[in-house]
Structure 1
Amino acid sequence: MWHKLSMVCVLAGPALAGTAGAASAQDRGHDLQLAGVVPKNSAEQFELAFWESIKDSPHVSDYEAYLKAYPKGRFAALAQARIARLRAAQGTGGAAATAPAPGRPPAAAPAKPPPARAAPPTAPSPAPAPAAAAAAARRPAGAEFKDCPACPIMVPLPAGAFTMGSNNSDPSEKPAHQVAIGAPFAIGKHEISLQQWNACVNAGGCQKTSLPANLPPDAPVRDVSWDDAQQYVKWLSTSTGKAYRLPTEAEWEYAARGGTATRYWWGEQMATGKANCKECGQPWSNDAPAKTGSFAANPYGLHDTSGSVWEWVSDCWHNNFKDAPADGRSWDQANCRVRVIRGGSWREGAPYMVSSTRFRYDASVRHTQNGFRVARNMK
């Protein structure tokens, strides 16, 4: 059994050269060692986890998001100094900073950054676990399809039952409970790519992202909010005449597990080469996620359900699964503004790669680690 632990955090990173003495003094704060026990689920822990996830980022928007959430935080001066340095570098032809595109509102602050999670044992890439092998043998029949040349590849899945959540993980994932998906549906084989997003942008259905211009077209789109994702599925539905949407949280986990009931879709132990995360093996870079489909598919033929980018789902956030619907529908409520994200990202470590990992952001948040995949009704 493993769960969230109090953090012992050492912040270190390359010093940023600059011309302003005051900014240089602030920036040398990266040498500060923060040691000691931070209470679990405390505001201090959340702030440390947020800073740890962005402290080496080359994107202005990440530091702006931190300042939005913690305007008087312990790293506020350092965040302001790094924003100044990145913008100065941009002005002199150095590393480009990420700035909101014209006409876009600034990114809203996240509800809270992902809390620290304890690392489970890591094993070298083993042979497929029996559970994963059995699930592969049970892979649902049905051919992959695309509804248009620019549309995502969809994988049809049958109705079925599974155990959602975990009693041995984060408290938000409890209690583990039975869910019956009552109707077949299709889900994206990959996360929505930058090329697919730009097809919507070019058609006037979506807003351009603030991502660097040199990203490959098959990179997963990110820095998109839940509201932005709704624009995409609306455009896709209108363009194809099919009922596209975000998957429900239950549908997402059902698909991500790929017919398995283990901690990860490949088994109980962490293994390298299975997911795009900072402890998951190559290809990996701190700067950006790998191209969609760079890692093996799960037994249902889906790529990147663990790592790559966090994925928006349709549900409102609830702190746990008590009283969650058992039929796979979206768990909504009136005036909901905080939505669920699933799967972890390339910047998180191995503990976030478990199939039950979940977190939340405000629906208007645009964050460089957040993307999505789509679902579609089959009737």
Structure 2
Amino acid sequence: MWQRLLMIVVLAGPAWVGVAAAQDRAPRIELVGVVPKNSAEQFELAFWETIKDSNQASDYEAYLKQYPKGRFAALAQARLARLRAAQPAAATPTPKPPPPVVHEAVPKPPPPAKTTAPAPAPAAAATPAHTVAAGTDIKDCPACPTLVSIPGGTYTMGNNTSDPSEKPAHAVTVGPFAIGRYEVSVQEWNACAAAGACQKIAQRPNTSPTAPMRDVSWDDAQQYVKWLATVSGKPYRLPTEAEWERAARGGTATRYWWGEQMTQGKANCKECGKPWAEDAPANVGSFAANPYGVYDTSGGVWEWVADCWHNNFKGAPADGRAWDESDCRVRVIRGGSWREGAPYMVASTRFKYDASVRHSQNGFRVARSLK
């Protein structure tokens, strides 16, 4: 499915890719044949393709952090300088503050932000984990995202007719677990920031509290799940890649959870139906849930998972655990975003980013075990 990622095909002689503005020009690139889908070059080109028309400085900052010597670095630097120069002095982006977070005055947080210290789980969460029925809502603390319980079982992960990174399709057995019914929202993230446990990450003006939190790195997400574990007393974490796909498929084995063909209005993606806006993703829960009651696994924002990136599934664990490596800095993201088209909404779609990179299309949802 070559349309899934950027393709450059030569019809007659070498293909040249470049930007030819008089004072804002990227280097000319000569590519012969089809760019390998799983190559470093392809990933860089795919990254650039998603931000090339952006008017957000953070997108170019993310590119430069990921590819400081990339083929579009000069162009990204030029656009970044122009965007910064056009901003009012008060709005000039400030450097990322190093951890630990300095406690500063913040706007009045939403109600969940009142939980600023470890607190015991409410009585409703005291039910033994093994008795939680599939599809049950779980709310471990006032500030915690709502979880939905996913049944354990065996399913086929991956796709033999899609991108090489999704092969081979293989049987995976996962135990019962709980996953965020929605992607983590801006309001939920701000509760952690107000408690001083997460970085304060500025969002676009007029962003809804129920918009999916984005511009977060894998490292940022680790701060959030650590905080949730503290305030709830439960083992919060990012879902493993196998758990994520299990939840995203909703018990189905088709390309999309709703069937083999894209259906308008099922996902928050480009040309996939309303509601859709070019500048930002729809609020969480704006589209129908899948059969497991999980929302927004197709489109919205890309979602970080726990696993280290591997180029394919050869040798992948068969028991649903995270496939990790020592000193791994490149992590998996799943699900596509509102800026991609229908081919990215396939349940097996996967991609990668450096764990420290913040990108405007990347967010996450949380999970925990139910054993």
Structure 1 length-normalised TM: 0.79
Alpha-carbon deviation of 1:290?
A: 0.9
- Within 2, Cα distance between the matches of 1:316 and 1:304? 23
Residue 60 (structure 1) aligned with residue 61 (structure 2): no
Alpha-carbon deviation of 1:89?
A: 1.9
Q: Is the 8 A contact 1:101 1:210 kept in 2?
A: no
Match of 1:174 among 167, 170, 174: 167
Q: Is the 8 A contact 2:62 2:357 kept in 1?
A: no
Residue 244 of structure 1 aligns with which residue?
236
Alpha-carbon distance change, 36 to 271 in structure 1, aligned in 2, over 3 angstroms: farther
- Within 2, Cα distance between the matches of 1:364 and 1:5? 24
Residue 331 of structure 1 aligns with which residue?
323
* One-letter amino acid of the counterpart of residue 270, structure 1: M
Q: Tell me the alpha carbon deviations over residues 259-282 of structure 1, each in whole angstroms, 9 at most, x when there is no partner.
A: 000011111111221111112112
Q: Is the 8 A contact 2:177 2:370 kept in 1?
A: yes
How many residues get paired?
A: 331
Residue 234 of structure 1 aligns with which residue?
226
- Within 2, Cα distance between the matches of 1:240 and 1:234? 10
- Within 2, Cα distance between the matches of 1:216 and 1:342? 23
Residue 156 of structure 1 aligns with which residue?
149
- Within 2, Cα distance between the matches of 1:324 and 1:253? 14
Residue 112 of structure 1 aligns with which residue?
none
Alpha-carbon deviation of 1:335?
A: 1.8
Residue 40 (structure 1) aligned with residue 36 (structure 2): yes
- Within 1, Cα distance between the matches of 2:178 and 2:22? 54
Query: Over aligned residue pairs, what C-alpha RMSD do you find?
Result: 2.9
* One-letter amino acid of the counterpart of residue 338, structure 2: W
Map 1:196-215; keep pairs closer than 5 Å.
Answer: 196-215=188-207
- Within 2, Cα distance between the matches of 1:297 and 1:241? 28
* One-letter amino acid of the counterpart of residue 341, structure 1: I
Alpha-carbon distance change, 104 to 173 in structure 1, aligned in 2, over 3 angstroms: same
Match of 1:85 among 82, 103, 111: 82
* One-letter amino acid of the counterpart of residue 40, structure 1: P
Alpha-carbon distance change, 71 to 338 in structure 1, aligned in 2, over 3 angstroms: closer
Residue 288 of structure 1 aligns with which residue?
280
Residue 187 of structure 1 aligns with which residue?
179
Name the SS of the counterpart of 1:161 in structure 2: strand
Residue 49 (structure 1) aligned with residue 46 (structure 2): yes
Map 1:266-285; keep pairs closer than 5 Å.
Answer: 266-285=258-277
Alpha-carbon distance change, 73 to 157 in structure 1, aligned in 2, over 3 angstroms: closer
Match of 1:25 among 19, 22, 27: 22
Q: Is the 8 A contact 1:278 1:347 kept in 2?
A: yes
Name the SS of the counterpart of 1:245 in structure 2: coil
* One-letter amino acid of the counterpart of residue 137, structure 2: E
- Within 1, Cα distance between the matches of 2:45 and 2:324? 30
- Within 1, Cα distance between the matches of 2:16 and 2:267? 25
Gap runs ≥5 in structure 2: 10-14, 101-132
Alpha-carbon distance change, 369 to 72 in structure 1, aligned in 2, over 3 angstroms: same
Alpha-carbon distance change, 317 to 282 in structure 1, aligned in 2, over 3 angstroms: same
- Within 2, Cα distance between the matches of 1:43 and 1:159? 35
Residue 6 of structure 1 aligns with which residue?
7
Alpha-carbon deviation of 1:320?
A: 0.8
Alpha-carbon deviation of 1:332?
A: 1.6
Structure 2 length-normalised TM: 0.81
Gap runs ≥5 in structure 1: 16-23, 106-139
Alpha-carbon distance change, 248 to 88 in structure 1, aligned in 2, over 3 angstroms: same
- Within 2, Cα distance between the matches of 1:36 and 1:280? 32
Residue 110 of structure 2 aligns with which residue?
none
Alpha-carbon distance change, 81 to 142 in structure 1, aligned in 2, over 3 angstroms: closer
Residue 252 of structure 2 aligns with which residue?
260
* One-letter amino acid of the counterpart of residue 329, structure 2: R
Residue 115 of structure 1 aligns with which residue?
none
- Within 1, Cα distance between the matches of 2:240 and 2:255? 20
- Within 1, Cα distance between the matches of 2:261 and 2:269? 15
Residue 303 of structure 2 aligns with which residue?
311
* One-letter amino acid of the counterpart of residue 147, structure 2: M
Alpha-carbon distance change, 35 to 294 in structure 1, aligned in 2, over 3 angstroms: farther
* One-letter amino acid of the counterpart of residue 86, structure 1: L
Alpha-carbon deviation of 1:35?
A: 10
Residue 347 of structure 1 aligns with which residue?
339
- Within 2, Cα distance between the matches of 1:36 and 1:228? 39
Q: Is the 8 A contact 1:311 1:341 kept in 2?
A: yes
Alpha-carbon deviation of 1:5?
A: 6.7
* One-letter amino acid of the counterpart of residue 313, structure 2: F
Name the SS of the counterpart of 2:304 in structure 1: strand
Name the SS of the counterpart of 1:333 in structure 2: coil
- Within 2, Cα distance between the matches of 1:217 and 1:169? 36
